[in-house]
Structure 1
Amino acid sequence: MNRKRLQKLTDTLTKNSKHFNKFEVKRLIKLFYTLVGETTERPGSVTGLDRNAFRNILHTTFGMTDDMIMDRVFRGFDKDNDGSVNVSEWVHGLSLFLRGSLEEKMKYCFEVFDLNGDGFISKEEMFHMLKNSLLKQPSEEDPDEGIKDLVEITLKKMDHDHDGKLSFADYEKAVREETLLLEAFGPCLPDPKSQMEFEAQVFKDSNEFQDVTS
């Protein structure tokens, strides 16, 4: 990408970015094109990160291992549903992913957990996600029973209107009372250590701002 285009893209995306400054946006754009270059056979043939490339980044950079959750995070980034994350979706998505306010993160996590997009997290969805993220250790009892119990306990704690499913209002109220419930159904945000390492690596040397346009 030539200097002029990079500058223009940086300006546009910085305007729309709540949580990154111009230097950081430029760094993220450069990282994006490096990653895209690594995943495509023919340079310039693809303009985004497909599902596999993106999941690979979630796994290697942010330590995510849950297939279902990684898939949902990909959908959260891929706003236009075209099957790949383009550069503006990348910057916008990372803005929330790394530095979003509690409000933004609640909305994002709720969308990740609402598997069928109907505006509620149902018992079945909770069961799927918890089963997916908890079945790591073999045990004597029927694991499904334990997970059903966990779903009931979670509902008891979070379902404020007692309709047997979680609306966003239920979820928001529960998370405001107990922030740990933000990721109640699976890790869909980077852990603080991965986040710090990523930012330290990508945003290092902000004093060399003059040189990054080259």
Structure 2
Amino acid sequence: MSAANRKVIQALVKTISKQVEHFNQTEVECLVRGFNGLLGEPAVPEHSSNGLDRGRFRSILLKWFGMTDDLIMDRVFRTFDKDNDGLITVKEWIEGLSVFLRGSMDEKIKYCFHVYDLNGDNYISREEMFQMLKDCFSRNPTEEDPDERVKDLVDITLKMMDRDHDGRLSFDDFEKAVREENLLLEAFGKCLPDTMSTETFQRHVFEEQPEQ
């Protein structure tokens, strides 16, 4: 790496370190280097046009975190891609990972709700629940109406989580239900890494990245 590029990256690391929680400056530098490796080119300031596209990001979710649900992976991408330009910049990458890997319960509740709110109207509707849960079941070809099981599950979930009984989940409904029963955090699909995946990914990024 040239001295000029090194200076640019050091300045970027210093800036991001002040803006992102849960990672220290050394870890941010490792994440920037890892991002370089994923792009195959040096990371540059976030207003640049380079970044992770949807396909490359989905490959990371599959390889490192075992995610396979197309809808959920697309929603995770949109949650990382805060400016909705179709690319995850280095800053968006590190900000997203800070919650994805090390977020507080408050941060994870907000993150999961955003993932599950498919149309961005600040509610998780019955239709959205159905869309996310229908892939959880393996379909029996002899079953006349396989969607009935999913509808039953949606009804059960609403009874558990819909506190104001309006047939949809507001953020307040979701938050209260998750705080009472943490297992409901990922009620509509796996959108956070498990402990083993988190540790493996962090070990790879923070301990195994070669110097550049």
Structure 2-normalised TM-score? 0.90
What is aligned with 2:44?
none
Q: 1:182 aligns with which of 159, 168, 185?
A: 185
1:114 and 1:154 map into 2 onto residues whose CA distance is 15
What is aligned with 2:82?
79
What is aligned with 1:138?
140
The aligned length equals 202
2:56 and 2:140 map into 1 onto residues whose CA distance is 31
Of 159-168 and 139-148, the range deviating more from structure 2: 139-148
Helix, strand or coil: the match of 1:166? Answer: strand
Query: What letter corresponds to residue 9 of structure 1 in structure 2?
Result: L
1:128 Cα deviation (Å)? 0.3
Query: What letter corresponds to residue 176 of structure 2 in structure 1?
Result: K
1:36–1:46 Cα contact (<8 Å) kept:
no
1:204 and 1:160 map into 2 onto residues whose CA distance is 45
Q: 2:207 aligns with which of 192, 201, 204?
A: 204
What is aligned with 1:111?
114
2:138 and 2:126 map into 1 onto residues whose CA distance is 21
What is aligned with 2:152?
149
Structure 1 runs of 4+ aligned residues shifted over 4 Å read none
Per-residue CA deviations over 1:115-172 (Å, capped at 9, x if unaligned) read 001110000000000002x133536433200000000000000001111100000000
1:205 Cα deviation (Å)? 7.1
Change (3 A) 1:75 1:205: closer
Helix, strand or coil: the match of 2:67? Answer: coil
2:139–2:146 Cα contact (<8 Å) kept:
no
Of 72-81 and 45-54, the range deviating more from structure 2: 45-54
Query: What letter corresponds to residue 155 of structure 2 in structure 1?
Result: E
What is aligned with 1:4?
7
Structure 1, unpaired ranges of 5+: 39-44
Q: 1:33 aligns with which of 33, 36, 58?
A: 36
Per-residue CA deviations over 1:29-53 (Å, capped at 9, x if unaligned) read 0110110118xxxxxx961010001
Q: 1:61 aligns with which of 64, 83, 89?
A: 64
1:123–1:165 Cα contact (<8 Å) kept:
yes
Structure 2, unpaired ranges of 5+: 42-47
The answer as to 2:23 corresponding to 1:17 is no
Query: What letter corresponds to residue 130 of structure 1 in structure 2?
Result: L
1:96 Cα deviation (Å)? 0.6
Identity %: 61
The answer as to 2:182 corresponding to 1:167 is no
Helix, strand or coil: the match of 2:207? Answer: coil
1:140 and 1:191 map into 2 onto residues whose CA distance is 34
1:57 Cα deviation (Å)? 0.6
Coordinate RMSD, CA, aligned: 1.9
1:79 and 1:163 map into 2 onto residues whose CA distance is 29
Structure 1-normalised TM-score? 0.90
